[in-house]
Amino acid sequence: NAGVTQTPKFQVLKTGQSMTLQCAQDMNHNSMYWYRQDPGMGLRLIYYSASEGTTDKGEVPNGYNVSRLNKREFSLRLESAAPSQTSVYFCASRLPSSYNEQFFGPGTRLTVL
Amino acid sequence: QKEVEQNSGPLSVPEGAIASLNCTYSDRGSQSFFWYRQYSGKSPELIMFIYSNGDKEDGRFTAQLNKASQYVSLLIRDSQPSDSATYLCAVTTAGSYQLTFGKGTKLSVIP
């Protein structure tokens, strides 16, 4: 049981390049999330998927797209990376209870030059 | 705009002392409250959650909730150097899929 996994761990992009961050969970959770964490800004929600087949915007969705490929996998795509997207990206999944406990993957550290 | 406020710290306590971490929130409809621990360079780890007024204890950790004052705290008894980390407070409302996080308090336990 690996929990929440993310790939890659590190990535450097040039401005304008595109890439997809991958996330998978093996806990049979319905809901999955993408956050970014920046110094002094805390964790901010980019997009989430309440269940397979649905996605919704969070606090900072501009510049990103997501795909809920199946129950296990939730990917985040940057179509044209900008230096402002330099951040640490965390994927999380939610325990199927009423209290909204979320469990995080190890993160992807992205630098856009 | 839902807000969760935490003192950024750093909060320094000697080994063996009680560390007290505080969090206030703006949305009176908030239902559940979470404490995450985040070591430097690592991902947040859920350590406790609370949803009823009062205290909830788990080992050396106690979460305290006062909904009337919109205040939640985390006490760490017998603090250890391994407790040195950033502690994130998060809240959610009934039926919501989203958590709102505070910016975290950095705790340093001095041997």
Cross-chain residue pair A100–B103, CB shorter than 8 Å: no
Determine contact, residues B36/B88, Cβ cutoff 8 Å. yes
Q: What is the average per-residue pLDDT within B10-17? A: 96
Determine contact, residues B23/B4, Cβ cutoff 8 Å. yes
Does any CB of chain A come closer than 8 Å to the CB of residue B97?
A: yes
Distance of alpha carbon A73 from the chain centroid: 10
- Among the partner residues A40, A42, A99, nearest to B101 by beta-carbon distance: A42
Alpha helical stretches, state H, A9-93: none
Angle A22-B94-B72 from CA coordinates, rounded to 5° = 90
Q: Beta strands of chain A (E only): which ranges?
A: 4-7, 10-13, 19-25, 31-38, 42-49, 56-57, 64-68, 74-78, 87-94, 102-104, 108-112
Report CA-CA distances (Å) from B25 to A9, A32, A41, B64.
33, 24, 16, 14
Kindly report the average pLDDT of chain A as a whole number. Answer: 94
Amino acid found at B76: I
Residue pLDDT, tens place only, B93-108: 888 889 999 999 999 9
pLDDT at B60 over 90: yes
Residues of A with CB under 8 A from a CB of B: 31, 40-45, 48, 50, 56, 58, 90, 94, 99-107
pLDDT at A100: 84
Q: A17-26, A54-63, B1-10 — which is least confidently predicted?
A: B1-10
Higher pLDDT, A41 or B52: B52
Nearest chain B residue to A91, by CA: B43
Q: A8-12, A50-54, B38-42 — which is least confidently predicted?
A: A50-54
Nearest chain A residue to B30, by CA: A99
Q: What is the average per-residue pLDDT within A69-80? A: 96
